[in-house]
Chain A
Amino acid sequence: MNRQVIGAMVRLRLLRVLRDRGGLVWLLVMPMVFSYLMGNLMGDWSGAGSSRRHKVLVFDRDGGAAVDRLLAQLADDERFIIVSADSSVTDERARFLVDEGAASAVLQVPPGFTDAFAGGPTVDLRLSVDGNRLSSQNARTLIERSLLRLNTERAARGLVTAPGAAVTRDRAAAFDSTAFAEAWAHPRLRLDAASLGRLEVEDWGLTRASQHVGPAYVLFFMLMFMMVSAKDLVQERQDHTLARLVISRASALDLVAGYFLGGLVIGLVQGAILLGLNAVAFGLDYGDSPLALVLVMLLFACFASAASILLGTLARTGPQADGLGSGLTMTLGAIGGLWWPLEITPSFMQTIGQALPTGQAITVFHGMIGRGWGVERSLPMLAGLLVWFVVVFALATWRLRRQASA
């Protein structure tokens, strides 16, 4: 092994990257733009983090006090703006308004709504929603909850015996409004939801989409940069630079080491800067085990660098390497769960995803962030990454040595 040649190759690669301003944009700027925009787009998995206020259109043909009570909870919710109209609207028009995005939901309140709660005939509200929209679903939940309260109160009042009549076993003497309000506000039966992670608080962990998006796009752009830079190796093959190096002082093994270490250093530097920037800019958390974090980044960078060499030896032209590199990165990213969490896919897609290096790396991140995984619990996934690296590196070495000696 010629350390001087290897060192020169690594230095040369780093210099090339530093001098290419366009490349630096892809190395550092675009991943951060992606983290920011995608984190914002996905917001909070529960939807609570979205800053957008959604419109709920209310066509109120009743105008009574019960409508105010029905809408009170929605009005108090910062996510919604209620726009009231005294006019009527057809069902088709209401549907159209939701479909066109003019409102997240349209509520039609018929005349006699308030009277219905005072013993009048029953009526039906109509709520037009779009089940595919989170805002629509949230508006529906709030309206259903308020209506449940009104209906419950009305039903309970119906069980009160008329003044002067005997109170039978299935009737009550009176309805205590204060007790109802108190029991509604402080129910005896409660739901306690908790995350059993490293930190048992709700506003933490993967509830924020950026905790998935941040590491996912660091891995994605690390791989993308490496794969796209495979065209440099193709260019050097075409320019016979490789042959010239071998003729001079470098062995084929030196070339492999030089290319591999160059890619590895770039990948690690890129990964470290991006993880740091994500932590500072978006307050991301990577768990409690720095060693596990270092190992997953190291193994992933090793794989990416080796894959770049393999691609560089397989592609015939620069543009071919470019296209294949982008394609492979996108495919590995999509199947491996870098674009969306694997848990929302069918189980066979999860199995395939976790068998890929992208899936293994992001699973370790999820484990570290959510469950506080250390090296020991990450071991199966780290071992998988190691296997990928060894196999790809062996193939890349074999191909590059053959081409260098040819």
Chain B
Amino acid sequence: MTRLWVFAARDLRRMANDRRALVINLALPLLLTSIMGLSFGGGIFGKKGISAIPVALVAGELPDALRDRLLAGLQESGFFAPVWADSAQADALVRSGDVAAAIVLPDDALKGFFQSDSLSVAVWKDPSSEVKAGIVEEIVRRGVLRVQAGEAAYRALWPDDYRISTGDSAAVADLFAGGLDEIWRNLRDPDAVDSRKRATEFLARAMDHQVALSRALSEPQVGLTIADRIPVAAEDGRESSLFDYFLPSFAVFFLMFAVAGGARDLHRERTRRTLQRQLLGPGSAWPVVVGKWAASVVQGVVMLSVLLLAGALLFRVNLGPDPWTLPVVVVLTCTAASGFFMLLALLVRREKVLDNLSTAVILVSGMLGGNFMPVDNMPEWMAAVGRFFFNYWANLSFARVIGDNGSLTAVGTPLTVLATASAVLLVAIVVLFRLRVRRGGWA
């Protein structure tokens, strides 16, 4: 055992003295995760995520009072930065990308609501702003669906209101002729003209129906309780964000580069003949390779700890429900990662081959194991393949602990997989290394 720690300590000293490795393994991941934090995380740097979506509103001849209410409502929601525009301006604004989308209400929307057989609300989207334009479309779609549901019920109950007679139709058209002031005068003094009286009676009837239906719809017979994942934010006042997923997943991604560097060291020592010198000493060969593995694990633990602590300090990333769950995940992730890349190093004959192969493996497993995208959003075949990579289970564990504030019991399955993989890989490394040494290829 003493030899093992001697070898491990020697490698650790060398890693600590290698300023380039420190920059690449610590400073660069820290820089990149900070960029991600600034993009998604908020934290001490203020507001996070998507800024208010610029939207153009086209509302034809909507009365000013309604226009103001609509504008104020959209502004207060905090999601939108609305501006009024006419149809041509809105078209130009969307095409130039100055707004993400335009919401276009039909001309004579108020009149059309009572008279028209078909009405359409349009959402014009900027094709270069699919995410923001998609959000606008979804919100408008939800609003339109509510109106559609109400109309379907109304039609089924009072179909005559929709089969409007010619006389009623002409009367309503007459009532709505002119500007808002004129409409208001007509409504205030309906008895002055017969057609106005007829129209206001028709409208009053329709209004009675509408109010009765609105009341009935306001108390649904079956409610729907949505039990969304309880964000850690709800418990400690912190806002959760995509960064909660991407900080650990990118930390694992950079960890793979760091431990692959440690595994490359095996080949470098072989080329420089220092490995052979170590093997000439008394005792068995395994402490040499296990010492390298242990050094790589320690390096990984330090790296992940620094990144996670920086995330917690700068972007208020959650570090789990207790002081031990996250450290266990970190250690098992590092043992599995070091084992995997050490095994890869023993399987190939030259450093350059390992260099190219490990980078390719890191990038591909990073994609399939969920380092760039939450696993649930992957196509089925990709998620199935991803389970064969240790980083999939590491990402899952971090997501449970950081994202859901899960304790050890919540990450039992992924931790078991990581622990089993670590043990199997360590045994495989020792066996393969002894075989290589015995056959003379490495000594």
Which residues of A are in contact with B by a Cβ distance under 8 Å?
Answer: 22, 25-26, 30, 33-34, 37-38, 40-43, 45-47, 50-53, 91, 94-95, 98-101, 104, 113, 116-117, 122-136, 140, 143-145, 147-156, 158-160, 169-172, 174-177, 179-180, 182-184, 187-197, 204-207, 317, 319-320, 323-324, 326-327, 330-331, 334-335, 339-341, 343-347, 349, 366-367, 369-371
**Minimum CB–CB distance for B376 against chain A, Å:** 5
Q: Knowing A125-B223, A188-B119, A369-B128 touch, does A349 contact B38 (C-beta < 8 A)?
A: yes
Q: Knowing A126-B227, A193-B137 touch, does A153 contact B151 (C-beta < 8 A)?
A: no
Chain B, Cβ-Cβ closest to A135: B376
> 5 closest pairs, A vs B, by CB?
A370-B128, A197-B127, A180-B156, A170-B212, A156-B153
**Minimum CB–CB distance for B98 against chain A, Å:** 11
B interface, how many residues as a size bin?
A: 35 or more
**Minimum CB–CB distance for A360 against chain B, Å:** 14
Interface of A is mostly: helix
Q: Note all chain A residues with C-beta closer than 8 A to B190.
A: none
Cross-chain contact A191 with B376 (CB below 8 angstroms): no
Q: How far is B381's CA from A326's CA once the two chains are assembled, in angstroms? A: 30
Q: Note all chain B residues with C-beta closer than 8 A to A41.
A: 367, 372-373, 377-379, 382
Chain B, Cβ-Cβ closest to A368: B128
Cross-chain contact A169 with B128 (CB below 8 angstroms): no
**Minimum CB–CB distance for A57 against chain B, Å:** 13
Q: Knowing A116-B221, A124-B222, A187-B152 touch, does A134 contact B377 (C-beta < 8 A)?
A: yes
Cross-chain contact A346 with B47 (CB below 8 angstroms): yes
Cross-chain contact A155 with B220 (CB below 8 angstroms): yes
Q: Tell me which of B203-211, B303-311, B416-424, B433-441 binds A.
A: B203-211
Cross-chain contact A334 with B156 (CB below 8 angstroms): no
Q: How far is B299's CA from A179's CA once the two chains are assembled, in angstroms? A: 70
Q: How far is B224's CA from A38's CA once the two chains are assembled, in angstroms? A: 36
**Minimum CB–CB distance for B363 against chain A, Å:** 7
Cross-chain contact A195 with B125 (CB below 8 angstroms): yes
Residue B225 lies at the interface, judged by CB distance under 8 Å to chain A: yes
**Interface bits B99-112 vs A (CB < 8 Å: 1, else 0):** 01000000000000
Q: How far is B97's CA from A132's CA once the two chains are assembled, in angstroms? A: 28
Residue B72 lies at the interface, judged by CB distance under 8 Å to chain A: no
Q: Note all chain B residues with C-beta closer than 8 A to A124.
A: 222-225
* Residue among A116, A130, A175 making CB contact with B157, cutoff 8 Å: A175
| Tally of contacts, chain A with chain B, CB under 8 A | 325
Q: Tell me which of B29-37, B59-67, B171-179, B284-292 binds A.
A: B29-37
Q: Note all chain A residues with C-beta closer than 8 A to B120.
A: 189-192
Q: Tell me which of B7-15, B20-28, B331-339 binds A.
A: B20-28
**Interface bits B135-159 vs A (CB < 8 Å: 1, else 0):** 0010011001111111111111111
Q: Note all chain A residues with C-beta closer than 8 A to B223.
A: 122-125
Residue B76 lies at the interface, judged by CB distance under 8 Å to chain A: no
Q: Note all chain B residues with C-beta closer than 8 A to A34.
A: 363, 367
Q: Knowing A42-B373, A51-B380 touch, does A194 contact B221 (C-beta < 8 A)?
A: no
Residue B51 lies at the interface, judged by CB distance under 8 Å to chain A: yes
Q: How far is B225's CA from A126's CA once the two chains are assembled, in angstroms? A: 5
Residue B364 lies at the interface, judged by CB distance under 8 Å to chain A: yes
Cross-chain contact B150 with A127 (CB below 8 angstroms): no
Q: Knowing A51-B379, A116-B222, A187-B152 touch, does A176 contact B28 (C-beta < 8 A)?
A: no
27 pairs of residues in contact across A and B, judged by CB atoms under 8 Å: A33-B363, A34-B367, A40-B382, A41-B367, A42-B373, A99-B410, A124-B222, A126-B227, A130-B229, A131-B229, A135-B376, A151-B221, A155-B213, A155-B216, A156-B153, A159-B157, A159-B212, A187-B151, A188-B119, A191-B121, A197-B128, A344-B50, A346-B38, A366-B128, A367-B97, A370-B126, A371-B96
Q: Knowing A334-B35, A344-B49 touch, does A188 contact B117 (C-beta < 8 A)?
A: yes
Q: Knowing A188-B118, A196-B95, A343-B131 touch, does A99 contact B400 (C-beta < 8 A)?
A: yes
Cross-chain contact A130 with B228 (CB below 8 angstroms): yes
Q: Note all chain B residues with C-beta closer than 8 A to A196.
A: 91, 94-95, 124-127
Q: Knowing A41-B382, A327-B24 touch, does A143 contact B127 (C-beta < 8 A)?
A: no
Cross-chain contact A128 with B227 (CB below 8 angstroms): yes
Residue B315 lies at the interface, judged by CB distance under 8 Å to chain A: no
Q: Note all chain A residues with C-beta closer than 8 A to B209.
A: 169-170, 172
Q: Note all chain B residues with C-beta closer than 8 A to A323.
A: 20, 23-24, 28
Q: Note all chain B residues with C-beta closer than 8 A to A95.
A: 227, 229
Cross-chain contact B116 with A188 (CB below 8 angstroms): yes
Q: Note all chain B residues with C-beta closer than 8 A to A197.
A: 95, 126-128
Q: Knowing A196-B127, A369-B128 touch, does A99 contact B404 (C-beta < 8 A)?
A: yes
Residue from A140, A152, A320 having most chain B Cβ neighbours under 10 A = A152
Residue from A40, A47, A147, A191 having most chain B Cβ neighbours under 10 A = A191
Cross-chain contact B51 with A172 (CB below 8 angstroms): no
Q: Note all chain A residues with C-beta closer than 8 A to B100.
A: 343
Q: Knowing A140-B226, A196-B95, A340-B39 touch, does A331 contact B130 (C-beta < 8 A)?
A: no
* Residue among B39, B124, B380 making CB contact with A349, cutoff 8 Å: B39
Residue B347 lies at the interface, judged by CB distance under 8 Å to chain A: no
Q: How far is B21's CA from A9's CA once the two chains are assembled, in angstroms? A: 32
Residue B294 lies at the interface, judged by CB distance under 8 Å to chain A: no
Cross-chain contact B224 with A172 (CB below 8 angstroms): no
Residue B276 lies at the interface, judged by CB distance under 8 Å to chain A: no
Residue B48 lies at the interface, judged by CB distance under 8 Å to chain A: yes
Residue B383 lies at the interface, judged by CB distance under 8 Å to chain A: yes
Residue B123 lies at the interface, judged by CB distance under 8 Å to chain A: yes
* Residue among A153, A169, A193 making CB contact with B208, cutoff 8 Å: A169
Residue from B212, B355, B400 having most chain A Cβ neighbours under 10 A = B212
Q: Note all chain A residues with C-beta closer than 8 A to B404.
A: 99
Cross-chain contact A156 with B157 (CB below 8 angstroms): yes
Q: How far is B212's CA from A160's CA once the two chains are assembled, in angstroms? A: 11
Residue B280 lies at the interface, judged by CB distance under 8 Å to chain A: no
Cross-chain contact B124 with A22 (CB below 8 angstroms): no
Q: Note all chain A residues with C-beta closer than 8 A to B383.
A: 52
Cross-chain contact B159 with A176 (CB below 8 angstroms): yes
**Minimum CB–CB distance for B34 against chain A, Å:** 10
**Minimum CB–CB distance for B405 against chain A, Å:** 11
**Minimum CB–CB distance for B372 against chain A, Å:** 7
Q: Knowing A37-B368, A189-B121, A319-B20 touch, does A25 contact B382 (C-beta < 8 A)?
A: no
Q: How far is B32's CA from A101's CA once the two chains are assembled, in angstroms? A: 29
Residue B340 lies at the interface, judged by CB distance under 8 Å to chain A: no
Q: Knowing A189-B144, A327-B28 touch, does A184 contact B152 (C-beta < 8 A)?
A: yes
Identify 14 new A-B residue pairs, CB closer than 8 A, beyond the known A122-B222, A130-B376, A135-B377. Answer: A26-B356, A38-B372, A41-B372, A42-B373, A124-B225, A127-B224, A133-B377, A154-B222, A155-B216, A189-B147, A190-B121, A205-B130, A340-B39, A371-B128
